[in-house]
Amino acid sequence: MTQNLHPAAVSAAARSSSTANLAPLQAVIFDWAGTLVDFGSLAPTQIFVEAFATFGITITLAQARGPMGLSKWDHIHQLLQDPSIARQWQAQFGSAPEDKDVDAIYARFMPMQIAKVGEFSAPIAGAVELLQWLRAQGLKVGSCSGYPREVLNQLLPQALAAGIAPDHVVAGDELAAGGRPGPFMALANVLALGITDVRACVKVDDTVPGIVEGRNAGMWTVGLSLSGNEVGYSLAEYAKARAAEVDARVARAEAKLKAAGAHYVVRSVADLPAVLAQIATDMRQGKTPA
């Protein structure tokens, strides 16, 4: 099918919304993989499969995607709770998986992810133009990720070179309070950016834990279906997919993200200008994220 995710899409939306009144919104806080970069959220998914394989454990891409949005240690821990994966571990090592086993897989995962993340640093179409538009509207741009800081340190310079440069970045392993689905990374952005009201923030994410994070932080939430983990196409797969198949996958993703509490769900960040204008209108009418 024809690729619709093109910078021109957000440019047109931005032009049509150039005089939009976004007050009283103050900030938009983005996830990274599947949201700003890495269409389909492919980098972490494939590495989980490869890391488990080094221990003789077979997991599918669908299983690897299941806990996406959590910090990577928590993600691995959650995968080991899957009955089929736990049975494999029991058969392979003679005991049920424990925290020390999560540590071992995490130690194997990290260098593999660091080595590969740069290959998946391309901005999602429209993301660069969207960040420029947000700043032109006077909004601040925050971000957070399930990626550990070591991985982000590899990703950020390449993303910056491509035009993706949020005002603040929080990694999944650097807050003592923990990561998603808790509100802590989103709230760390609030503090760093000097936001005066969490209800004036919008959290944008392609995963269930990321949406729950935003809701727990008291923010508006926008889920992304097509570009992210829930649909999981690579750009090549998307270009070849039949429209009916795409629509079916998107519908399932939208339902899942809405069930998690997303106030709005759109296909990608290219669709955000109109949604942000609607949220601002809602706020001026006295509506709140709650």
Which residues are the active-site residues? 31, 72
Q: Mean pLDDT throughout 262-286?
A: 97
Annotation: CATH topology of 43-118: DNA polymerase; domain 1 (1.10.150)
Higher pLDDT, 8 or 272: 272
**pLDDT average, residue stretch 203-207:** 97
What's the confidence (pLDDT) of residue 5?
A: 53
Q: Is the pLDDT of residue 1 over 80?
A: no
Domain ranges of the chain: 7-41+120-282, 43-118
**DSSP symbol at 29:** E
The answer on pLDDT for 189 being more than 80 is yes
Task: Kindly state the average pLDDT of the residues 8-17.
Answer: 47
Q: Tens of pLDDT along 126-153?
A: 999 999 999 999 999 999 999 999 999 9
Structure tokens at 75: 């993600």
Is the domain 7-41+120-282 a CATH 3.40.50.1000 member?
A: yes
Taking the CB of residue 157, how many other CB atoms lie within 10 A of it? Answer: 12
**Please, are residues 179 and 71 in contact by the beta-carbon 8 Å criterion?**
yes
